[in-house]
Amino acid sequence: MRPVPASLFSLALLALAGAAPAAPGFRVETLAPGVHAAIRTDPPGLMVDANCLFIVNDEDVVVVDAPEASAELIEALKGITDKPVSHLVNTHWHDDHVIGNATWRKAWPDIRFVAHPSLSDYLPGTGARNRRAMIADAPEAAAQMKKQLDAGKNLAGKPISDEERASYASDIALVAHYMAVVPSTPDVLPDLPTAGDLVLQRGTRRIEIRRVGRGHTEADLVVWLPQERILASGDLVVWPVPLVGGDQSHVADWPGALDALLALKPALVVPGHGPVQRDLAYVRQLRDLFADITQQVRERRGRGLDLDAARKTIDLGDWHRRFAGTSPVRDALFRMYVAAPALVSAWNAATP
Ligand SMILES: [Zn+2]
């Protein structure tokens, strides 16, 4: 297929999606006095935008993560308070958590950006390369989904279910929004880098920016409100299926990070994607999944198998059923974001 300028694709996609985005794509939930989570309402799918947390203090606001929908999030925040945003914490380096930085800075020029120091290397390097690839490829993927929708078939060529229909329509709208926002937005790097030992005392509010260990990326930070016992986990916790990158994630270290998170005994966990977790069952399920994958890979490697041979003998069937149930969308997500990359990540970390 001949390459078409991304802007044309973007316009076509806006039309496909029915002029994006009609709804803001999130709802705001108040979790404690002054603590508001903006939770995405999209159905599970291949495309995601991130959750966001507003922490309204005596004099100012601290925000966690800067999703692609930051312009809409700023509008929502202004409906809650007119206090200025003093700090924004990027929980890691992926676009759906950092691309909005420039938009927040435009609204509050004195804002400071808190993140792991590695963002300053990642964003101009690997991050910029990955973004260029996404901008080049996403419109075609969305166009393919539109074709499948029109044909009444899923991406595997089988009759499409209602769940898949809603998921593809959401992906198409999210790609359109991505193309409308991301290509024209510059990076804003952290100006308050932290390895995970920063406390922001804002009036009576204590906000701890911690590193519980690496898992989803090297740069994972969490935000902990000890008085309210609320934790924003970034993508260390993602529902309904974790997001694993074969070369960016650290599956063997992930259980330790989740154990450290569980040791805080949070009352509420705001995940990077998915609804607020009101108990810790799902976090424990993630911890057990990654511990089991790590153990199975280590055992195969210890027996001298290579990765291909190991892959054939590693059984994730129970996990697949627990995460996917009977949902074809979650089944596809588990294959793509867990089964394939998690084995590679665990393999790379395992020593015989
Ligand atoms: Zn991420």
Could you tell me the CATH number of the domain that includes residue 24?
Answer: 3.60.15
Last residue of a domain, one of 194, 229, 260: 194
User: 71 and 176 in one domain?
Assistant: yes
Q: Does residue 174 sit in the same domain as residue 301? A: no
- pLDDT exceeds 50 at position 181: yes
| Judgement on whether residues 144 and 282 belong to the same structural domain of the protein | no
203 within some domain: no
Does the pLDDT value for residue 6 go beyond 50?
no
Residue 159 and residue 261 share a domain? no
Q: How far apart are CA 276 and CA 229, in angstroms?
A: 13
**From the CA of 193, how far away is ligand 1's center (Å)?**
18
32 and 77 fall within a common domain:
yes
Domain span holding position 86 = 1-194
As given in the structure block, the two tokens for residue 261 are: 């998170």
Q: What pLDDT is attached to residue 350? A: 77
Going from the Cα of 242 to the center of ligand 1, the distance in angstroms, rounded, reads 10
Q: Is residue 205 part of a domain?
A: no
- CA of 204 relative to ligand 1 center, distance in Å: 31
Strands 52-56, 61-64: parallel, antiparallel or unpaired by DSSP? Answer: antiparallel
**What average pLDDT does range 37-47 have in this prediction?**
96
* Domain membership flag for residue 221: yes
Please classify residue 320 by burial: count the beta carbons closer than 10 Å to its beta carbon, then call 0-12 exposed, 13-18 middle and 19+ buried: middle
The pLDDT assigned to 13 comes to: 44
Q: Are residues 12 and 152 in the same domain?
A: yes
State the distance from the centre of ligand 1 to the C-alpha of 66, rounded, in angstroms: 12
HEC string for the chain: CCCCCHHHHHHHHHHHCCCCCCCCCEEEEEEECCEEEEEECCCCCCCCCCCEEEEECCCCEEEECCCCCHHHHHHHHHCCCCCCEEEEECCCCCHHHHCCHHHHHHHCCCCEEEECCCHHHHHHHHHHHHHHHHHHHHHHHHHHHHHHHHHCECCCCCECCHHHHHHHHHHHHHHHHHHHHHHHCCCCCCCEECCCEEEEEECCEEEEEECCCCCCCCCCCEEEECCCCEEEEEEEEECCCCCCCCCCCCCCCHHHHHHHHHHCCCCEEEEEECCCECCCHHHHHHHHHHHHHHHHHHHHHHCCCCHHHHHHHCCCHHHHHHHHCCCHHHHHHHHHHHHHHHHHHHHHHCCC
Q: What's the pLDDT tens digit per position in 51-80? A: 999 999 999 999 999 999 999 999 999 999
Residue 115 pairs in a beta bridge with 193
pLDDT band at 10, cuts 50/70/90? very low
Give a yes or no: residue 201 inside a domain: no
Chain centre distance of CA 47: 10
CA of 189 to the centre of ligand 1 (A): 16
The total number of structural domains that make up the chain: 2
Our measurement of the distance from residue 22's CA atom to the centroid of its chain's CA atoms, rounded to an integer in Å, reads 22
Tell whether the model's pLDDT for residue 21 goes beyond 70.
no
Q: Are residues 143 and 179 in the same domain?
A: yes
Residue 244 has pLDDT above 90, yes or no: yes
- Same domain (yes/no): 190, 216: no
What percent of the chain is predicted at pLDDT more than 70?
93
Report how far ligand 1's centroid is from the alpha carbon of 59 (Å). Answer: 31
Calculate how far, in angstroms, residue 235's C-alpha sits from the geometric centre of ligand 1: 5
| Burial class of residue 336 (count of CB atoms within 10 Å of its CB; 0-12, 13-18, 19+) | middle
- Cα 117 from Cα 259, distance rounded (Å): 24
Q: Distance from the CA of 2 to the center of ligand 1, in angstroms?
A: 31
pLDDT at 4: 35
What's the CA-to-centroid distance between 92 and ligand 1, angstroms? 7
179 and 61 within one domain: yes
Confidence tier at 173 by pLDDT (50, 70, 90):
very high
Report the distance separating Cα 96 and Cα 343, nearest Å.
Answer: 25
Considering the domain boundaries, does residue 155 fall inside one? yes
Mean pLDDT of the chain: 92
The alpha carbon of 93 and the centre of ligand 1 are apart by a number of angstroms equal to: 7
Ligand 1 centroid–CA 195 distance in Å is: 18
93-97, 118-122, 346-350: which range is least confident on average? 346-350
**Residue 284 C-alpha to ligand 1 middle, in angstroms?**
20
pLDDT above 90: percentage of residues in the chain: 89
pLDDT in tens, 129-161: 999 999 999 999 999 999 999 999 998 899 999
Between the CA of 150 and the centroid of ligand 1 the distance, in Å, is 31
Nearest one of 202, 171, 229, 274 to 56, comparing CA atoms: 202
CB atoms within 10 A of CB 147: 11
Give yes or no: residues 223 and 116 share one domain. Answer: no
The reported pLDDT for the residue numbered 23 is 57
Residue 5 C-beta-side C-alpha neighbours within 13 Å: 3
* Mean pLDDT value of segment 182-201: 96
| Residue 117 alpha carbon to ligand 1 centre in Å | 16
Determine the average pLDDT of the residues in 325-335.
95
Residue 202, in any domain of the structure: no
Residue where a domain stops, chosen among 194, 221, 248: 194
Ligand 1 centre and the CA of 154: distance in Å? 26
Output 197 or 24, whichever has higher pLDDT.
197
In this structure, the strands spanning 52-56 and 197-202 are unpaired
Residues 129 and 179 reside in one and the same domain: yes
Split at pLDDT 50, 70, 90, the class of 22 is very low
- Give the phi and the psi of residue 40 in degrees, each rounded to 5: -60, 145
* Cα 164 to ligand 1 centroid, rounded to whole Å: 23
| The domain boundary residue, chosen from 194, 227, 242 | 194
- Do 352 and 219 share a structural domain? yes
Predicted confidence at residue 331, as pLDDT, reads 95
Q: Judge contact between 121 and 219, C-beta under 8 A.
A: no
Tokens of 328: 């074809």
Q: Which of 246, 219, 253, 251 is nearest to 234 (CA)?
A: 219
Dist. CA 95 → ligand 1 center (Å)? 8
The pLDDT, as a whole number, for residue 246 is 82
